[in-house]
Chain A
Amino acid sequence: MELANTLSQDGESRGGVLAHLERLETQVSRSRKKMEEPQSAQAEESALGTRIHELRRLRDKLRAEVKQHQASVKASTTNVEPDQTLEITEQESLKRKRENVKAILQAYRFTGISGKLTSRGVCVCISTAFEGNLLDSYFVDLVMRKPLQIHHHSIPVFIPLEEISAKYLQTNIQHFLFTLCEYLNAYSGRKYQADRLQSDFEAFLAGPLQRNSLCNLLSFTYKAEPEGQFFPFCARLLYKDLTTTLPTDVTVTYQGTDALSTTQEEQRAAHEDLFFTKPLHQVFTSFARKGDKLDMSLVS
């Protein structure tokens, strides 16, 4: 996709992310080095010591400036006695700020993508949901190096992770993550529909639901009415597009040995239509509702 190629010219986001993590990495490796090599640590220490010395100098200079600045305002301040309680409120406000930042970090999971910094990079957590139901989360542990690497992950093997990372990981991390998000959410959604069909509408199926691990090929024999022992229809659903939760191919066939009547043909065609446009379990919910008796346990 040409989008990836042209965006490589503007690797701003990647540059920002990489630069930031490189800084953190240097910090961590520096402190690690100090523990492992005491000799080079001496050199590091003196460099840091010089910096602290300079910072102290700058701070003292600024203190003097601020004092001068404050002196001109002295007239307007009525009470400049140091207040003990103010020291505590300073800490309180810092604590509050910290809690606030922590909360925002937690809130990132509601965007679908959140992460935690690790010693080698970042562990990204991708959340999935379908129809408002929060479902499984998956993680990808990235190592910030050139080139970017996936250290380990919990992505199911049938999701084309390698394909997606080959296309986008090195040039556009955001695109990589959101594309992965797309695939995972779609898979989660298809799985949710299949699970709901199996658990909530067992009575409507003759035998178990046939499905593959990617949940993009489903086949089952069913009836559209709660009563009766005859399961007249057989459906086959194929989801060619792995980023969608609705099928791309639907075939409903009539199972009966007798000839297909017009009403049955109408039903068959209507069902095909339904499977194309509504989530699987919702189709069966509407089947259940059509009957005179409304089984409340099926309406969730």
Chain B
Amino acid sequence: MDSQLVEARALEAEITALRRACVEPPAPGEDTSRVRKSFREIYQADSEGWELSKDLRSHLGHLESELQFLSTLTGISIRHYSKKTEDLTSTEMTEKSIKKVLQRHRLSGNCHMITFQLEFQLLEIQNEESLSSVITDLSIIMEPTEYSELSEFVSRAEERRDLFMFFRSLHFFVEWCEYRKRTFKRFKEKYPEAVHLSEGASSSCMGIRNPSRPGFELVIVWRIQIDEEGKVLPKLDLLTKVPLQALELDKNGVIETAPLSFRTLLGVLGIEATLESLIKSLHTEASN
């Protein structure tokens, strides 16, 4: 019974390979080995080689599924990984049954729109009672570099050699970025004339205007910060752009206290409700 499933799997893999062979434009010279390989893949199924490679193929297929699954589960996709091991055990250590090994790891991949490249060293010391593993060096390269909040965070992670904090904070940072993007997009779609996104959907600012009242603008600045401990927190501020005449008329100092009231409102209503109420308030002003 199982063999039928395995055969089905192998057939699927073969069909994928055949489809690839159909699409590949044959180039002279260099690609002859590729052409022959595709031939091989076709004949593979009928030759004895099929027996061995079918197990390999299905096993590989299963492993690739597992990898895809982990990538979906964590939101982190690792594309390349390599490791070098160096044995640092001296003869003195061997006598005391102590083993010392230095591993150099290289890892690269992405978390949504951010790609990372890591290199770190892991020192493992094994003695009779215990094994200690310490990260002794960490270097991180991240792209895109437009997220200025990240460069400081990256140096801190490198300094502390805190690999896990790096990935954790990266995840939460990306989560907040996506949430900010979705929220801004939603408001832009709901109130196309009132809402203005200067840098497009990924911008950190949202402007609220009333087309019938030019000169007035509320700007919401939504930054995403990572603190010393790696905690990711949103920080929202309100900026007001108001014509001078209006300022003079503002006897109660509403505009002056607006940023503070904004903070209070955030605490009470939460981000989305606060933003929506601001947009609505500027909108209804027009009808007066």
Q: How far is the CB of A140 from chain B (nearest CB, A)?
A: 12
A65 contact set on B, CB distance < 8 A: 18, 22
The contact string, 1 if C-beta is below 8 Å from chain B, for chain A 105-125, is 101101111111100001010
Inter-chain contact B107/A110, CB cutoff 8 Å: yes
Given contact pairs A55-B8, A66-B22, A86-B37, A243 touches B60 in the complex (Cβ within 8 A): no
Q: Cβ of B168 < 8 Å from any Cβ of A?
A: yes
Q: How far is the CB of B175 from chain A (nearest CB, A)?
A: 7
Inter-chain contact B2/A90, CB cutoff 8 Å: no
Task: List the B residue with the shortest CB-CB distance to A72.
Answer: B26
Report B161-192 residues with CB < 8 Å from chain A CB: 161-165, 167-168, 171-172, 175-176, 179, 182-183
- Interface of B, secondary structure class, is helix
Q: Which of A91-99, A215-223, A258-266, A280-288 contacts B (4 or more CB under 8 A)?
A: A91-99
Inter-chain contact A177/B19, CB cutoff 8 Å: no
How far, in whole Å, are A94 and B76 apart by their CA atoms in the complex?
Answer: 25
Task: List the A residue with the shortest CB-CB distance to B80.
Answer: A104
B162 contact set on A, CB distance < 8 A: 129, 131-132
Partner among B73, B83, B134 whose Cβ is within 8 Å of the Cβ of A133: B134
Q: Cβ of B100 < 8 Å from any Cβ of A?
A: no
Q: Cβ of B72 < 8 Å from any Cβ of A?
A: yes
Q: Cβ of A296 < 8 Å from any Cβ of B?
A: no
Q: Classify chain B: how many residues form its interface, as a range.
A: 35 or more
Q: How far is the CB of B286 from chain A (nearest CB, A)?
A: 28
Report A212-270 residues with CB < 8 Å from chain B CB: 243-246
Inter-chain contact B47/A48, CB cutoff 8 Å: no
Q: Which of B51-59, B210-218, B238-246, B248-256 contacts A (4 or more CB under 8 A)?
A: B51-59
B36 contact set on A, CB distance < 8 A: 77, 80, 83, 86
Q: How far is the CB of A149 from chain B (nearest CB, A)?
A: 16
Q: Which of A10-18, A158-166, A193-201, A203-211 contacts B (4 or more CB under 8 A)?
A: A10-18
